[in-house]
Amino acid sequence: SVKRRTDERLGFFDAAMSYAVTERLTLERSIKDALKAGQFELFYQPQVSLRDYELVGAEALIRWRHPELGIITPDKFIPVAEESGLIVPMGQWVLREACRQMRVWNDMNLGRLRIGVNVSGRQFHEEGLPDMVAEAIADARIDPTHLDLELTESMLMADGEGTLKMLRALAKLGVTLSIDDFGTGYSSLAYLKRFPINTVKIDRAFVKDLDQDEDGRVIANAIISLAHSLSLKTIAEGVETEAQASLLARHGCDEIQGYMIGRPLTVADFTAFVGSYTAQGRGTVPRLKTGQ
Ligand code: C2E
Ligand code: MG
Ligand code: MG
Ligand code: MG
């Protein structure tokens, strides 16, 4: 009967639901244990200037080095960490660890690299965030101007006054602020002018489109022009090919990050990468004049 089939479907739905809930709780427990056990690790992905291909910084990207499963990428655990609130202690660990690593690299005279740290929505709404950042900087004795905090559009659009207050408190510390995944969230551009933001990170989706057709190029170019007209720097994410890099350079994009330069690397690999990297061998790319 129809009723019976509905009941069965509902029964199945319940079972699937509780399985999902159980799985989520298990993952939540595991993340908590992993934080205590020190199984999280930061990888670093190089960022270079498109002007001369000099290495300018790195983005810190979290990985879970699981004793049985190996390396787990953030898409598998950040959403649950975010929902459960575990992102707050995790994010605090990330910030302190990135600052500590910068101190180590400074002591090694590895050059004055800027490090980008991702901040989650939940963290951004923690009143204590500016104090926490200030403490991480002070404890590691690093130059705050070399720390860049990556925020997303959706975070900034949530509530006007609270957002502005938080951004001002963070900017006051001397750190720089970036908008990550630019172009994928709300498309309100008004906030770009209102908020003390330094950099726009052009999402990989637009970089991918560069190779495809004229529309892709028009959009990337529009984002770069808009950012520059508001005195914001631009970094393109997910640059995989020389063709993409050269198109971005011609449109005046400031920096790139992506597999073409390097994947996210362990501390040891990144340190070796910095030691062996030379901007030479890469020609500088002529830029288009405005309007072209
Ligand atoms: P995101 O901040 O936009 O980071 C860029 C992502 O693009 C990274 O994925 C990176 O590995 C990947 N990527 C970089 N270059 C290329 C490329 O050329 N091609 C392709 N296909 N992908 C590229 P990952 O490391 O898996 O991180 C995914 C997202 O997880 C990040 O996106 C960020 O939103 C979040 N995340 C990572 N680490 C943290 C963290 O410490 N805290 C928080 N809250 N979120 C984090
Ligand atoms: Mg990021
Ligand atoms: Mg991004
Ligand atoms: Mg992204």
What ipTM was assigned to the predicted interfaces of this complex?
A: 0.97
Nearest CA to ligand 1 atom 19: 238
- In this prediction, residue 187 carries a pLDDT of 60
Average pLDDT estimate for 173-187: 87
3-class SS of residue 176: strand
* Whether the predicted pLDDT of 13 surpasses 90: no
Q: Look at the block and give the residue holding tokens 């605090």.
A: 92
Ligand of minimum distance to the alpha carbon of 240: 1
What pairs with residue 45 in β-bridges?
59
Q: Look at the block and give the residue holding tokens 């990556």.
A: 150
- What residues have CB less than 8 Å from 95, skipping those under 6 apart? 117, 132, 133, 136
- In this prediction, residue 155 carries a pLDDT of 87
- Expressed in angstroms and rounded, the spacing between residue 108 Cα and the centre of ligand 4 is 31
Q: What is the mean pLDDT of the chain?
A: 89
Nearest CA to ligand 1 atom 10: 264
* Whether the predicted pLDDT of 4 surpasses 70: no
Ligand of minimum distance to the alpha carbon of 60: 1
CB of 261 shorter than 6 A to ligand 1: no
- Residues 141 and 243: their CA atoms lie apart, in Å, by 40
* Whether the predicted pLDDT of 92 surpasses 60: yes
* Whether the predicted pLDDT of 284 surpasses 60: no
Instruction: Go through the chain and tell me how many residues it has.
Output: 292
Largest pairwise CA distance in the chain: 76
- In this prediction, residue 98 carries a pLDDT of 98
CB of 264 shorter than 6 A to ligand 1: yes
pLDDT tens per residue across span 40-90: 999 999 999 999 999 999 999 999 999 999 999 999 999 999 999 999 999
**Which pTM value belongs to this model?**
0.91
Q: Look at the block and give the residue holding tokens 């244990």.
A: 33
The ligand 1 atom at the shortest distance from the C-alpha of residue 74 is 30
